Amino acid sequence: MKKNQIIKVVVIIVFCVAIDIFMHIVTGPFSTMPSDPDFSFVADILGTEITASLWALLAFSCVSFVYLRNRDEIPGKGMVKGVRYGMAIAMLWIMAMLEGVSLFGNPLINEFVVGASDAIPVFILSILLSMLKTTKNNITQQEGFYTKEKIKAVSVFAGIFLAGRYMAYFSGIIRSGNQTRPLETFIWTLMMGIVIGIVFVLLGNNKVKAHFMRRSVKYGYFIFGLNWAAFLLFMPFLFSGYITDVLVRIVLDINVVMIASYLTLMPMGRLISKTKFGKADAHNGAGQYIE
């Protein structure tokens, strides 16, 4: 990426972080901040406002990095890629925020509004980044998954995430509201798995260029993993006593999602299918398709 393009990316990130800060100020009455918070060492030194702003800068930079490195593989063309990516990360962050309903007993509307204060700026960020012409391959149009593949993806991600999280809930390796708010915990866990599956569908394409194991690792650790970690790190950034729990969540969820991605990308029973050119695609038995 050229120097002037890097400058544009930095300007876009700073601009969207400013929007994020403004939206949190506007939605202040919906804040779910504890009445007697135990702030982190960093927040005690820099203050909550500066610490939160630094987190936003880090998180939005991470979102931008993932998009710029992966946008050639996102279905669509030009701005459509940004729309799909922005929708994916916005949904992911909002659902992550809603865990506070089952975990802390926070009101649903409050968690949604606060989550939207991050989701809207990150959506704008993705749109603006999609307008930058940083690579020749940006004009490449990728095709999304077929309907049966979409249904399989959402179903697999929902089931695997549900199973992985409940193993963690019952073993007690992460905090959960399973004992005090079991219904809310089940609903959130199921919906979170569904959303992660939808994100996979939005950002994936059916032109397999690598073994499905490699693709599943990329999605689990890079595309989902970095965006998930960037959001979850807000809690230990601002409050003390969360670092271990959050790190365990990040490692657990990334590996669960990688497994779900692997199971989804395995041969889907589509040995021969017609392409738009009228040719047949035959599965070569190694997670790739050949004409």
**pLDDT computed for residue 134 by the predictor:** 59
Measure CA of the first residue to CA of the last residue in the chain; give whole Å.
Answer: 34
Cα 100 to chain centroid distance, Å, stands at 17
**pLDDT computed for residue 62 by the predictor:** 97
Between CA 185 and CA 100 the distance in angstroms is 10
Q: H or E stretch including 5?
A: helix 3-26
**pLDDT computed for residue 78 by the predictor:** 86
* Number of structural domains found in the chain: 1
**pLDDT computed for residue 272 by the predictor:** 29
Is 289 part of a structural domain of the chain?
no
Is 87 part of a structural domain of the chain?
yes
Is 47 part of a structural domain of the chain?
yes
Is 19 part of a structural domain of the chain?
yes
Two tokens, residue 66: 């993932």
**pLDDT computed for residue 280 by the predictor:** 40
Give the CA radius of gyration of the chain.
20
**pLDDT computed for residue 139 by the predictor:** 52
pTM, full prediction = 0.87
Is 46 part of a structural domain of the chain?
yes
Is 50 part of a structural domain of the chain?
yes
SS3 state of residue 282: strand
DSSP state of 140: P
CA torsion sign for 81, 67, 148, 269 is positive
**pLDDT computed for residue 141 by the predictor:** 67
pLDDT (tens, 9 = 90+) of the chain, 291 residues, equals: 788 899 999 999 999 999 999 999 999 999 888 777 899 999 999 999 999 999 999 999 999 999 999 988 899 888 999 999 999 999 999 999 999 999 999 999 999 999 999 999 999 999 999 998 755 544 566 667 788 889 989 999 999 999 999 999 999 999 999 999 999 999 999 999 999 999 999 998 766 555 778 889 999 999 999 999 999 999 999 999 999 999 999 999 999 999 999 999 886 534 323 334 344 444 443 344 333
**pLDDT computed for residue 267 by the predictor:** 65
Is 154 part of a structural domain of the chain?
yes
Between CA 207 and CA 216 the distance in angstroms is 14
Between CA 255 and CA 163 the distance in angstroms is 12
**pLDDT computed for residue 125 by the predictor:** 98
Domain that holds residue 84: 3-270
Alpha-carbon distance values, 183 to 96, 156, 165, 187 (Å): 17, 21, 14, 6
**pLDDT computed for residue 207 by the predictor:** 66
Between CA 23 and CA 107 the distance in angstroms is 19
**pLDDT computed for residue 275 by the predictor:** 37
Alpha-carbon distance values, 180 to 68, 111, 140, 165, 186 (Å): 42, 18, 50, 16, 12
Is 80 part of a structural domain of the chain?
yes
Between CA 232 and CA 234 the distance in angstroms is 5
